[in-house]
Amino acid sequence: MTVALLEVENLKTHFFGRRGVTKAVDGVTFSVEKSEIVGIVGESGSGKSVTSLSVLRLVDAPGRIVDGTIRFEGRDLLAMSREEMRRLRGRRISMIFQEPGTSMNPVLKVGFQIAEAIRSHERVTDAEARRRTLELMDLVGIPDAAHRIDQYPHQFSGGMLQRLMIAMGLALSPALLVADEPVTALDVTIQAQILDLLRDLRDRTEAAVLLITHDMGVVAETCDRVLVMYLGRVVEEAPVDKLFDAPLHPYTQGLLGSIPKIEEKVEWLEAIPGSVPSPHDVPSGCRFSNRCPKVMDVCHTAEPPLIEHGPGHRVACYLYTTEAEEDRG
Amino acid sequence: MRSCAFRVPDPSFSLLPVTGNLVSHEQLEELKALAPNVHVVRGDMDEACPSSLPASAPFPDTKVVTIGELRLGLCHGHQVLPWGEAAAWYRWLRAPIMRLMDVLLAFPGIVIALTIIAILGRGIENVILAIAIYQIPQFARLAHGLALSAQEQTYVEAAVAGGESDVAILSRYVFPNIVAPIIVQVSLLIPGAIMTAAGLSFIGLGVPPPTAEWGAMLQLSLTWGRLAPHMTIFPGLALMLVVFGFNVLGDGLRDALDPRLKGRG
């Protein structure tokens, strides 16, 4: 098997606050292949954003990556110096953020900022930077780029700004684009356009995308593979069609069950009982045990490992452990 | 050649200055003979008594001090702002720099200025330096506070994620976003600088004669003012107008420097 583009193993990112240690990410393992779109879904506080920031080593104090390895293109990111890491960011891995409106410097022209992304890593003439900026703006579908290149961010709509952010992210054809909730702040029609754009750009530039979202609809539309996170751990990992056809983990089932279906008329939507526990106060055993409808005794005592259940489909739940053993045996 | 008397230690000669302004050399000699305890300073009218010639020096050296302070201000701006920004960006620099600024701030500005003048002596350059130094902490604190909030913005995080170097982030992402309030602050501190310069001259520690200075003029007018009120009115009016003018300028700059207000009716 060839080496994956990004391999994250047993990643633990903890925050050392006044009220004790918050284990935002607590043993996450996943990989992203070349030109693959991998989605990470989960509720607020599940650790999906911290996971994405950890990949770029952008976790600020009091947060710290305490354990695990992150290998990108075969190199260990956690062993890199600050300067090596800086040269990697933007060039090989780039990131786009949730709020396009605040992700751009309000006092500089957009063209300058995209050109700056190129200039920060390559020596180019002004004319060359401008030509490439125009190309990028065309690539992400900004109409009348030649005119808009000299405008300020406040003169663009949210959707257009997110296109510009993507252009900045792709300026140096990175191998991996980390997108942290790229469409959450946009309205639905624009969301569809941006997601189409991401898929289209993936096909053309062969950049892999790590897409962080809480929206199952976004996952279904865009991703090739999905990780479901709950309280800092991956509870299920599957190809996107498998996840929607046959979700295994009770949490995933609960998430999908809470989405209204167009073919059924129901009075009440199912909801997962209770709410996400505080990360200071994680239940012992399986983290989902206090809300799980199929909870068993073993769930309270030990944490289920993430085990293979079908090709590319892994789940961390005791409901499937014996089954899986029989399959292998 | 006409001369003028500067100080009248004996109150019984309080009328003398009035004539002193106009007396000829010969008359002065007579007066000296009459009253030997009068301290007479002789000199060329244009140099020694600028206060009596407001028209010939409509913009006395307050202007020089202001321009000098501004130049030094911008220059220490170039040095201080990065320190303020750096103090915000690098946590380990925060305590040493900002506590030093707190120490400076703990003294009233005029005391620091006086100390510096006492060490360096009088003179335009030293007045400029004294004023510039006592205004450093105000800029450093402003830059620090603004940078603290600016660097939390998503676009700074995005710049870090884009692999920008620290220098590029501080100069192209943080600095342009905090520069407008700083420029406004400069325009608001200029009146303060003018007032301090005038104050130093007023107590005799500012720009030394023969250079014309509004504060020095006002000081002179203390003894002369009752009989020659124009000596108080015109330097005072000039000071007031300049200070007011810079405040209006500061207001205008604040509106002009906000890119979001650009191009809107």
3-state secondary structure B219-243: HHHHHHCCCCCHHHHHHHHHHHHHH
> pTM (2 decimals)?
0.70
pLDDT at B121 exceeding the cut of 50:
yes
Q: Does ipTM top 0.85?
A: no
Sheet containing strand A225-230, strands side by side: A93-96, A176-180, A208-213, A37-41, A225-230, A233-239, A314-315, A307-308
Per DSSP, the three-state class of A309 is coil
Strand partners, A40: A212, A227
Judging by DSSP bridges, how do beta strands A93-96 and A176-180 pair with one another? parallel
Per residue in A44-99, pLDDT tens?
888 888 999 999 888 887 888 988 999 998 889 888 888 888 888 888 999 888 88
Substitution target from B146, B154, B261 for chain A, most A beta carbons within 10 A: B154
Domain count, chain A: 2
My answer on whether A185 and A244 are in the same domain is yes
> What is the model's pLDDT at position B62?
55
> What is the model's pLDDT at position B57?
42
Would A158 be classed as within a structural domain? yes
Cβ contacts (< 8 Å) between B160 and chain A: which residues?
A: 58, 89
Measured in whole angstroms, how far is the alpha carbon of residue A302 from the centre of its chain?
28
Which structure tokens are listed for A145? 């780029």
Of B78-87, B163-172, B251-260, which has the strongest mean pLDDT?
B163-172
> What is the model's pLDDT at position B59?
47
- Count of alpha carbons within 13 angstroms of residue A89, beta-carbon side: 25
Count of beta carbons in the 10 Å neighbourhood of residue A70:
20
Contacts for B93 with CB less than 8 Å, ≥ 6 apart: B86, B87
pLDDT at A227 exceeding the cut of 90:
yes
């056809």: which residue's tokens? A245
> What is the model's pLDDT at position B79?
55
Residue in A230, A200, A192 with CA at minimum distance from that of residue A214: A230
My answer on whether A249 and A156 are in the same domain is no
Q: How far is B170 from chain A (nearest CA, A)?
A: 12
Report whether A110 contacts A156 (CB < 8 A).
Answer: yes
Cβ contacts (< 8 Å) between A102 and chain B: which residues?
A: 153-155
Cβ contacts (< 8 Å) between A56 and chain B: which residues?
A: 161
Confidence of residue A134 (pLDDT cuts 50, 70, 90): very high
Substitution target from A77, A98, A107, A113 for chain B, most B beta carbons within 10 A: A107
Strand partners, A45: none
Q: How far apart, in whole angstroms, are the C-alpha atoms of residue A190 and residue A158?
A: 9
- What number is the average pLDDT over the span A293-300? 85
Cβ contacts (< 8 Å) between B260 and chain A: which residues?
A: 106, 154
Q: How far apart, in whole angstroms, are the C-alpha atoms of residue A85 and residue A55?
A: 11
Question: When comparing pLDDT for A163 and B45, which is higher?
Answer: A163
Would A327 be classed as within a structural domain? no
Contacts for B255 with CB less than 8 Å, ≥ 6 apart: B261
**How many residue pairs bridge chain A and chain B with CB atoms within 8 Å of each other?**
73
Do the Cβ atoms of A105 and B164 come within 8 Å? no
My answer on whether A128 and A14 are in the same domain is no
User: Phi-psi category of A27—alpha, beta or left, where left has phi over 0 and alpha has psi -120 to 50?
Assistant: left
Final residue of a structural domain among A173, A202, A230? A173
CATH superfamily of B62-261: MetI-like (1.10.3720.10)
- Mean pLDDT of the residues in chain A: 86
Final residue of a structural domain among A144, A173, A202? A173
Q: How far apart, in whole angstroms, are the C-alpha atoms of residue B171 and residue B78?
A: 11
Final residue of a structural domain among A269, A296, A313? A269
Would A157 be classed as within a structural domain? yes
Would A296 be classed as within a structural domain? no
- Mean pLDDT of the residues in chain B: 69
Which structure tokens are listed for A180? 């942290």
pLDDT at A168 exceeding the cut of 50:
yes
Cβ contacts (< 8 Å) between A98 and chain B: which residues?
A: 154
> What is the model's pLDDT at position B61?
53
Per DSSP, the three-state class of A227 is strand
Measured in whole angstroms, how far is the alpha carbon of residue B3 from the centre of its chain?
31
Q: How far is B96 from chain A (nearest CA, A)?
A: 20
Question: When comparing pLDDT for A262 and B8, which is higher?
Answer: A262
Domain that holds residue A46: 6-92+174-269
